């Protein structure tokens, strides 16, 4: 039988059932329910690397994508190759329509300092929307934790994502930073070496800096600005209902 989209009732029931489940149990349910129309998006953060390790055991053929904005650190791009060598998992790059050079030339220079929301929209949100239209998944997996930001704190383990009209799965929602690094060290999971150089959260290089002792782990993202999210994980409201 073809895989169909989950109803609101099924999503609510699944979230209640999986609220305190292990990440592996969430991934097993998602794989059983949505494969082959299940997608994971990763920025190769520590959390995402944990999920890639889990999926290699639970669903080795899972489709995983990375939004290659053109501004990623060299260490991030190299990590993709290390993951491929370790697990045989080839993360697919999703590119914006324009190269960095063409994008900046058309706009009179880089936007990431003056209009970072626009830059994220053009080089992350729009490419992901095009990828979703092309790949046609029913659900996508993210690596967010609820203790990272206020928006992420509003998320559920299983929820409807109105931004992309998909079920969104957050298997690591209830994990802490300690849980993440405990898993990495226990299983020798490949991770970005920038984490060892005071980059707990890694995005595009123009908008990411190391954090000082005592700072929030996302203090290095868009430092000096109120912005704390690229927009992928901001909770939206659709048709008067919270998601």
Residues carrying an active site annotation:
230
How many Å apart are CA 40 and CA 184, to the nearest integer? 19
The DSSP call for residue 122 is I
Each residue of 15-26: b (16+ CB within 10 Å) or e?
A: beebeebebeeb
Three-state secondary structure call for residue 64: strand
How many Å apart are CA 215 and CA 218, to the nearest integer? 8
* Planar angle of CA 87, 89, 91, nearest 5 degrees: 140
- Give Cβ neighbours of residue 31 (< 8 Å, ≥ 6 apart): 38, 58, 59, 62
The DSSP call for residue 207 is G
The answer to whether the beta carbons of residues 31 and 63 sit under 8 Å apart is no
Token pair listed for 188:
């020798």
Binding residues for [4Fe-4S] cluster: 119-120, 204, 207
The answer to whether the beta carbons of residues 62 and 122 sit under 8 Å apart is no
Please report which helix (H) or strand (E) contains residue 161, including its range: strand 158-161
How many Å apart are CA 88 and CA 202, to the nearest integer? 24
The answer to whether the beta carbons of residues 86 and 57 sit under 8 Å apart is no
């Amino acid at each position: 039988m073809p895989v169909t989209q989950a109803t609101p009732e099924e999503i609510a029931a699944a979230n209640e059932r999986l609220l305190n489940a292990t990440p592996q149990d969430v991934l097993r349910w998602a794989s059983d329910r949505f494969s082959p129309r299940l997608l994971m998006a990763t920025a190769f953060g520590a959390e995402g690397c944990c999920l890639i390790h889990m999926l290699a055991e639970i669903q080795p053929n899972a489709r995983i994508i990375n939004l290659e904005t053109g501004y990623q650190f060299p260490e991030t791009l190299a990590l993709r190759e290390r993951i491929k060598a370790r697990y045989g998992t080839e993360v697919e790059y999703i590119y914006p329509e324009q190269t960095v050079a063409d994008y900046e030339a058309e706009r009179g220079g880089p936007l990431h300092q003056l209009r970072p929301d626009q830059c994220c929209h053009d080089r992350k949100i729009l490419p992901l929307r095009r990828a979703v239209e092309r790949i046609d998944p029913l659900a996508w997996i993210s690596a967010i934790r609820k203790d990272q930001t206020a928006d992420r704190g509003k998320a559920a383990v299983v929820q409807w994502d109105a931004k992309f009209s998909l079920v969104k799965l957050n298997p690591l929602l209830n994990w802490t930073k300690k849980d993440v690094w405990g898993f990495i060290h226990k299983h020798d999971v490949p991770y970005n070496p920038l984490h060892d150089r005071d980059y707990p959260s890694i995005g595009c290089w123009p908008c990411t800096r190391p954090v000082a002792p005592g700072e929030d782990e996302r203090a290095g993202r868009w430092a000096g600005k109120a912005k704390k999210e690229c927009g992928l994980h901001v909770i939206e409201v659709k048709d008067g209902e919270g998601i």
